[in-house]
Structure formats: structure tokens, C-alpha cells
Amino acid sequence: MNHTLLVELLTEELPPKALVKLSAAFAAGIMNGLKARDFLEAGSVATTYATPRRLAVSITDVRSVSPDKSVREKVLPVSVALDAEGKGTAPLAKKLAAMGLAEIDVAALERAVDGKADSLFYTRSVAGSALVTGLQAALVESAAKLPIPKLMSYQRPDGSTVQFVRPAHKLVALHGEQVVPLTLLGLAAGNQTLGHRFLSNGQPLAIPHAEHYAATLETEGKVIANIDGRKEKIRSALLEKAGADKVLMPEALLDEVSALVEWPEVYECNFEEEFLAVPQECLILTMQTNQKYFALTDATGKLRSRFLIVSNIATDDPQHIVGGNERVVRPRLSDAKFFFEQDKKKSLEARLPLLANVVYHNKLGTQAARSQRVVALAKDIAAELGYDVALAARGALLSKADLLTDMVGEFPELQGIMGTYYARHDGEPDEVALTATEHYQPRFAGDSLPSTNTGTAVALADKLETLVGIWGIGLQPTGEKDPFALRRHALGVLRMLIEKRMDVSISQLLALTAKNFQDIAGFTDPVKDVRAFMLDRMRGILRERGFTPNEVEAVLVEDLDRLHDIVERLDAVQAFAALPESASLAAANKRITNILKKTDAAIGDVAESLLQEDAEKSLFAAMARVRPQVDAAFAARDFAGALKTLAQLRDDVDAFFNGVMVMAEDIALRNNRLALLSSLHAMMNRVADISKLAA
């Protein structure tokens, strides 16, 4: 008979940050174990449950007995099993006896090719096994493979020692309404679990049927077993309590809070207005990180003095819960206020000498040495881009000073943000102050770019210094390992160059960076490799933007060193690829490329007097006609217009290849036709190598 299966393991409170992974692995292990043992139907579906005190899974349509199977076993190679007369040998008799087949007739064995030689096989029918057998094995396997952050050792009542993520108290295993007699961690399975620690009556809760698990826990045990269901209930309650304000609820915080409660209730709390004088990022971070609270802002993004908490207790009079949480948060906010006031007593510039005491990397020196390199590079980049060099130097100099403040020491996530606050307090120009924050941007995919020229120059310098420096001492990314986040730094540089349309050479930027490491022992100039690495990352960026690999290669094959117009070029290539003439011209361009590659002779200019065939004369005339239009469009950066104009040449190009022998025996004619093709090739490929569009 097929029924829904339920397995639940009830424990002490599980690590909240690991709960989702633990529950997913627990469910997947049991599901995969049963599937491998043929206890599931094609349409069986698993539902995962997880609360702070339990891991559970229910699976529909589970068989009580697995089907009988036909098993084909290899006995022996024929050369060993049979003698010259085809009779069984002593080794065959011994092997059959070991397999429990001593009485079988040799003629009943199947003879079949096994690799390069014949072998004898025996096919037997194996009866299916009971669910308890397969599920016991699947459960043990699943528990053994759980991604447990740290094992605990504890003693069972019988004195035996058990190791698991947390002490386990009950095991539930139901197939329909029948208990499956499993054992795990010294527990015997039954049909009883426990509800909410405080909201239920504290007595064992019987699950009458596997399909009634979630409903029984919710109605009788005051437990929402589905973690996604709890998360959405919390989200809805937070939004309702926030009213006209905006609630700050990062998904990671929602996930963690959902793993801390079984019956979530949201309450409103407040703190004193005086704390709002502290930078709100500090207050928000301490509420989220230390207390798991949800901060509120008004419509303009300004922090409010009220905040929301998620409790595991439902009550009509929450004053004790609210008051307790308000008392807990007050010392944290006081600490933040104290750190802020203390930090303001010492300027960022005064902290700079202390960077010499902070090791950046044992092969690259201290943060002070790194700061000097970033300052020098930021000045060079600013000069290259026409930015204010003095502001870039000042912004780079102060960009890491906040690492030495008490606030950043307590909350490393605030580095850069606090630098901006403190630089403004010190009276630095706002563009310099913003650089403390902006030089980290973009910090992740989709993050905003620096808004100022100074921030952009220092952000480029900071990321390039890391890329070239770390690579130059031999610590480039390998496989999936990238401990210094060089891929992220490369993507950040590329995004700035592309999205800000910065007309600057990648090779020049890397060369400017590398010169700052010449006095570093063991440093090997990595500019060539880093440039290739960056262009490979560029391919990924462009493919994510919807361009095909062929379109991307059409542009990158020209080994572009300036990326300010690469998107416009790709848009033009994409538009050209949609034209009916594109396939023919791309194929012709590819043919021209192959012809020119095989030519060793120097190619000069086209001599009109040597044009003999009508087709080559027509192509020459057509090229002369469209060249001014192509030049004008290219000069105006109208790449799409340039390629569209080239589409007019399709018929003349096709006629040329159909009617003209390029590699003529007459050397003068041959070289003139090669010159014509070379001129056409150069004109066609000014925007991109359209031969890459050919199938």
C-alpha cells in the first residue's frame, strides 16, 4: 500500500543560521535514500519542515514494500568456467556454490559478451524489502551526512554517549497512520511530538496521520512547522505594524528570525530620541546584528526611534516583552553613541601613522604601504581622466583611516560609511568625505557605482592595486578558490569603465598600477595575465546583458583596450545581425579573413587600372560610394549606422566571389584583388569583426 510518509526529529534549539541547510539536507537525504531503494513513485513529492526544535519531512505516495527486482549477476568468464568440451570446471562449481546455486544446471546460465570476452551470467528474482528496512538505512545515511557546524556530545538516560548537532528527544515516523519502528540516536520512533514550549499544554502531542502533521502542530501545538510559512507571516506582520513607515528587513535577517521562533508575533518598541544623533547606520546595524530587531525609517529614509521585534510568545499584554527588549537595546545604542563621540575627538589624518602597525599582506607590507600605492595610483588615474588630482590624492590618503576607529573596530561592516561621517566632521571637502564610502563600490553585483569623480578614481585605484598586487605575488584565483575576491575586484573595475563610459586604456591602467610594486621582492609583473583575466570577466558581463557569445566575440576579437563604447558596438552588431544581408556579409568576411591569413606578400593600395572583371569594378565603385557614409557614421560613433550602410555591399560582394578568381596566376592581378579585399575587410571590421557572426 502507498501512503504519505512522515519523519520528524525533535531536538533542543538548533543553530538558527544553519537551520535551513540542515532541514534541506535532512529531507533530501531521506528522499534520495528511499528513491534509490525504489520506495517512491514517479509523482512522489517531499515537503520540508523546520522549526528551532525540529527537522521533518513528509513524502507522498511511499510504498510499504519495494517491488521485486530482477538481478543479473556475472558468474565467471567462459574461458575459466568451461573446459574444452563445454563442461563446467571446478572453479565454476566453487563459484556457483558460493552464490547459493550449487544445484543449478550449467545450461541455465546465460552466455554473453562481457568486454572483449564471453562470460556466464545468472539472472535471479529478488523479493522487495519492507519500508522499515529501506527507511532505516536512508535515515541513518541522512543523519550522518547533515552539514552540522559543530557536533555536540551528550548522554542519553541510559548512560550512552551520542553525538549530534543538538540533543535529540523524540523521533516520529509514520506511514499513513502506522508507526514505522525506526531507531536513531538512541530514540525509538513513535507518533508523538511536542508543541510550542510555552503556548501548548506541554504534553506529548499525538500525530494521528502523516498527512495531518502540519495542521495538528499548528492547531494543537501552536507551531507553524513550515519555515517559509513562518517567514511570510513575519513579513506581513512587520509591514502591518510599520504602517506608513518603511521597515528594514533584509532577507538574511528574516531567515534568521524565522529560524528562532515557532509561533511568531510582532511587537512595537521604542528607544530614546537622543540616540538619533548617532549615525543611523550604526544604530541599524547594532539592532539587526546583535538583537535581531527590525528598524523603521520614515518615507525619506530617516531612522525612527521605534522599532519592531519578533517574539515567540503571543499575549494580549506584551508590556513585559516590550519593556525587556527596550532595556536590552539601550546599552547597545549607548555603546554606539560612546564610540561615535570618542572617535570624533581624533581626526582621520591623525590616525594615519597607525596604519603602519596593520599588516596588509606579509609579501606586500602594511596598510600604510598599501595606502601610499593607492594614493600614487589614484593621482595617476585622476590625471589620465582629467579629474582633480589633489582631491584624488586626499581621498585616497584618508580612505582607510576609519579602520582604526572604535566604531569600525566594533562593527567592521561600517568601514567606509564611518569614514565619511568622520571626514565631514573633520571639515574635509564633501567629495573627499564621500570617497571613504565610494571607494569600496561596487561591493557586489548590482551595487551602485561611485557618484563622484574622486570616488571613482580611488575606487579604481583600490581595486587595481589589489588585483595587480595579489596576482603579482602568485596568488591569482584557481578554480573556485578566490580568497582575495579578485574576480569581484575585476568586475568592479569593468563596470566602472563600461557604465561610466570612461575612455581610458585597460593596459595603461594596469601598467600604472604595476609600476608601484617594482620595489616588492618576488613581485612578477602580471599585467598581461590580469588583462586577459579581466577580458574573460568582460565576456560574462556582456552575456548577462543578453548578448550572444558570437556577438561578444565579434567585438572582443579586435582586442579592444578601451571599453567606453563597447555596449554601443554590441548594440550595433546585434542590430546588424538582424538584417537579411548580415549572414551573407558575415560569411564573405570570414572568407576574406581566411584568404588574407594565407597571404605572405605585402598588400598595397588598389590600382583601379588593374581592375578587369565587371564584378571587381562594381565592388570597387560600391566601396567608394559607401566609404564616406561609413566614415561619417563611425566618426559620429553611430556604429549601427555604419554597419547598416555596409549592408548595401552585399550584392556586390556576392557577385565578386561568384565571378572573380582572387588568386589569379598573374601576380599583379592577384595582389590588386587582395588589396581590394583587404580594403573591404578593414572597412567592414571597423566596428567589430562581423566574420564571428557567421555560422
Q: Is the pLDDT confidence value at 184 over 70?
A: yes
Q: Identify whether the C-beta of residue 64 lies closer than 8 Å to the C-beta of residue 5.
A: no
Q: Identify whether the C-beta of residue 95 lies closer than 8 Å to the C-beta of residue 150.
A: no
Q: Is the pLDDT confidence value at 274 over 90?
A: yes
Q: Identify whether the C-beta of residue 300 lies closer than 8 Å to the C-beta of residue 244.
A: no
Q: Identify whether the C-beta of residue 216 lies closer than 8 Å to the C-beta of residue 266.
A: no
* Segments in 452-609 forming alpha helices (H): 453-472, 486-499, 506-514, 527-544, 549-556, 566-577, 582-597
Using one digit for the tens of pLDDT, what is the confidence trace for 448-489? Answer: 999 999 999 999 999 999 999 999 999 999 888 899 999 999
Measured distance CA(569)–CA(575) in Å, rounded: 10
pLDDT at 559: 67
180 and 49, same domain (yes or no): yes
Is 355 inside any structural domain? no
Q: Is the pLDDT confidence value at 222 over 90?
A: yes
Using one digit for the tens of pLDDT, what is the confidence trace for 523-548? Answer: 999 999 999 999 999 999 999 988 98
479 and 538, same domain (yes or no): yes
Measured distance CA(506)–CA(556) in Å, rounded: 13
215 and 247, same domain (yes or no): no
Q: Identify whether the C-beta of residue 12 lies closer than 8 Å to the C-beta of residue 169.
A: yes
Q: Identify whether the C-beta of residue 308 lies closer than 8 Å to the C-beta of residue 367.
A: no
140 and 209, same domain (yes or no): yes
The count of structural domains within the chain is: 5
**Rounded to 5 degrees, what angle do the CA atoms 612, 614, 617 make?**
75
| Model confidence band, residue 70 (pLDDT cutoffs 50, 70, 90) | confident
Using one digit for the tens of pLDDT, what is the confidence trace for 44-65? Answer: 999 999 999 999 999 999 999 9
Is 425 inside any structural domain? no
Average pLDDT of span 662-691: 89
CATH number at residue 676: 1.10.730.10
Residue-wise DSSP of 54-115: EEEEEEEEEESBPPPEEEEEEEEEHHHHB-TTSPBPHHHHHHHHHTT-TT--GGGSEEEEET
393 and 496, same domain (yes or no): yes
37 and 140, same domain (yes or no): yes
Measured distance CA(269)–CA(321) in Å, rounded: 9
Q: Is the pLDDT confidence value at 558 over 70?
A: no
Is 552 inside any structural domain? no
Using one digit for the tens of pLDDT, what is the confidence trace for 355-378? Answer: 999 999 999 999 999 999 999 999
Q: Which of 637, 638, 685 is nearest to 503 (CA)?
A: 637
Domain boundary among 328, 343, 358: 343
Q: Is the pLDDT confidence value at 602 over 80?
A: no
Q: How many CB atoms lie within 10 A of CB 607?
A: 13
Measured distance CA(590)–CA(693) in Å, rounded: 9
| Model confidence band, residue 114 (pLDDT cutoffs 50, 70, 90) | confident
Residue-wise DSSP of 265-285: EEEEEE--GGGGGS-HHHHHH
Preceding amide of 442 cis, omega within 30: yes
Residue-wise DSSP of 112-136: EEETTEEEEEEEEEE---BHHHHHH
Rg, C-alpha atoms of the chain: 36
Q: Which of 465, 436, 429 is nearest to 450 (CA)?
A: 436
Is 114 inside any structural domain? yes
Measured distance CA(425)–CA(106) in Å, rounded: 96
Using one digit for the tens of pLDDT, what is the confidence trace for 307-353? Answer: 999 999 999 999 999 999 999 999 999 999 999 999 999 999 999 99
Is 359 inside any structural domain? no
Is 408 inside any structural domain? no
Q: Is the pLDDT confidence value at 596 over 90?
A: no
Domain boundary among 221, 245, 280: 221
55 and 188, same domain (yes or no): yes
Measured distance CA(624)–CA(620) in Å, rounded: 6
Domain boundary among 109, 126, 143: 126
Measured distance CA(503)–CA(497) in Å, rounded: 8
Using one digit for the tens of pLDDT, what is the confidence trace for 371-420? Answer: 999 999 999 999 999 999 999 999 999 999 999 999 999 999 999 999 99
195 and 97, same domain (yes or no): no
What would the grid cell of residue 573 be?
552588431
Domain that holds residue 639: 566-693
Q: Identify whether the C-beta of residue 227 lies closer than 8 Å to the C-beta of residue 258.
A: yes
590 and 481, same domain (yes or no): no
Residue-wise DSSP of 172-215: EEEETTEEP--EETTEE-BSEE---TTTS-SS-EE--SGGGHHH
pLDDT at 124: 85
47 and 134, same domain (yes or no): yes
- Residues of the chain with pLDDT > 90: what percent? 77
pLDDT at 266: 97
Instruction: State the chain's mean pLDDT as an integer.
Output: 93
pLDDT at 255: 95
Average pLDDT of span 551-558: 82
Is 424 inside any structural domain? no
Q: Which of 141, 127, 124 is nearest to 34 (CA)?
A: 141
Is 560 inside any structural domain? no
333 and 471, same domain (yes or no): no
300 and 438, same domain (yes or no): no
